[in-house]
Amino acid sequence: MLKINKLNKSYGVNKALTEVDLNVSEGVVFGLLGPNGAGKTTLIRIINQIIDSDSGEVYIGGELLAPKHIGLIGYLPEERGLYKKMKVWDQMLYFARLKGLSPHEAKLKIKYWLEKLEMETWKDKKIEDLSKGMAQKVQFISTIIHNPPLLILDEPFSGFDPVNAEIIKNEILELKEKGTTVILSTHRMESVELLCDQVAMINRSKKILDGTIKQVKSIYRPEVYTITLDHLTRDLPTEWISKEDEGSYSFTLPLSGKLPNELLNELMQYGQVSQFQELIPSMEEIFIHQVKSTENG
């Protein structure tokens, strides 16, 4: 769906993107991760043709990105707003028409979405009279009103209350089912594991990691196991710092060059092994590890 080749962008002396490559397959939810200021928004703005890159190419559906592709993308920026004095209906119509829908199409789509999210009664209200959550829904509908095959959401859940966040999350998943490709940019990495199929991590203008969630997780395996032993048959070595809870001893151990089975064998000599599980790092930990290893190497 989207292919990015050696993209570079700098603002004066500051590099915002350095040789970034990306490949987003069709119909996936793609997580674009990285801390604030890493270059995510710049990348998204380039895809949206808001700014131009210094060098490198962006292909969308196999074609070099051009102004005619504007209608293929739905974009929800991190910083978003609506015309306060405009009515919900007029506002949606304006955004839909700007994305190239005919007046007739636009009206049908708006009606459909207003009904779907139970908002018909708001259509003649001004934005300034709506609650924040309502306005956010209007914003979301405005983003997807033209049925874009590619949806780019920059921090979509920031500022949403939990109820609306859930509604939006379900809508995103439903759109994905229908074949929409979704790029989800966020610095809150704990939220991506549930939603994303693929991820890419960006730090200080460079892509430092990408792949499916499973691939990414396999890149960084600290090879540490969490272990619980019951019915001890002999004392544990003192360097194994453990926590005792009613005769159960829990602790973590690194493999230290052994095979998992060798470690398990060793443990069995101390008692009944009731838990032996590899510790899977969170996205956050993977990110931190990756940042350290790229900086050191």
Partner 1 sequence: MDKIWLVIQREYVARVKKKSFLLVTLLTPLIFPAIMGIFVWIALEEEDNQALRIIEVVDDNKLFFLESSEQYAFSFSDINSEEAKKLVQDGDRYGFLHIPKFDIKDPTGISFYGEENPSMSLISYLENNLRKKIEEQRLFESGIDPKIINDVRTKVAIKSITLDEEGTETVSDATVNYAIGFVAGILIYMFIFIYGNQIMQGVIEEKSSRIVEILVSSLKPFQLMLGKIIGIAGVGLTQLLIWIVLVGTLTTIVTGFLGMQMPQQQAMELANPELAQGLAQNTEMGEILQVIAGINYMEIALSFVFYFLGGYLLYGALFAAIGSAVDAPSDAQQFMLPVTIPLIVAYMGLFVFVLNDPTSTTSFWLSVVPLTSPIAMMGRVSYGVPFWELALSMGLLIVGFLFTTWVAGKIYRIGILMHGTKPSYKTLWKWIKTNN
Placement of tokens 């048959």 in the chain: 233
**How far apart, in whole angstroms, are the C-alpha atoms of residue 192 and residue 198?**
9
For partner 1, give the closer residue by CB, 130 or 267: 130
For partner 1, give the closer residue by CB, 49 or 290: 49
For partner 1, give the closer residue by CB, 142 or 242: 142
Smallest gap from residue 112 Cβ to partner 1 (A): 20
For partner 1, give the closer residue by CB, 54 or 174: 54
Binding site for partner 1 (CB under 8 A): 45, 48-52, 54, 67, 70, 73, 75-77, 79-86, 94-95, 97-99, 142-143
**How far apart, in whole angstroms, are the C-alpha atoms of residue 156 and residue 26?**
20
For partner 1, give the closer residue by CB, 94 or 220: 94
For partner 1, give the closer residue by CB, 143 or 228: 143
Spatial CB neighbours of 231, under 8 Å, sequence gap ≥ 6: 247, 271, 272
Task: Determine the distance from the C-alpha atom of residue 131 to the mean position of all C-alpha atoms in its chain, rounded to a whole number.
Answer: 26
For partner 1, give the closer residue by CB, 81 or 297: 81
In the chain, the DSSP E strands lie at 2-11, 14-24, 29-33, 55-60, 63-64, 73-76, 150-154, 181-186, 198-203, 206-212, 224-230, 243-245, 248-254, 272-278
Smallest gap from residue 97 Cβ to partner 1 (A): 5
- What are the Cα distances from residue 296, in Å, to 216, 219, 266, 288? 19, 17, 34, 12
**How far apart, in whole angstroms, are the C-alpha atoms of residue 198 and residue 58?**
18
For partner 1, give the closer residue by CB, 27 or 71: 71
Smallest gap from residue 190 Cβ to partner 1 (A): 26
Smallest gap from residue 86 Cβ to partner 1 (A): 7
End-to-end CA distance of the chain: 33
Beta bridge partners of 74: 151
Placement of tokens 């609506």 in the chain: 82
Smallest gap from residue 48 Cβ to partner 1 (A): 4
Smallest gap from residue 152 Cβ to partner 1 (A): 9
Residue environment code for 126-154, b if the CB has 16+ CB neighbours within 10 A, otherwise e: bbeebeeebbbbbbbbbbbbbbbbbbbbb
Smallest gap from residue 59 Cβ to partner 1 (A): 18
In a 13 Å sphere around the CA of 245, the CA atoms on its Cβ side amount to 5
Smallest gap from residue 150 Cβ to partner 1 (A): 12
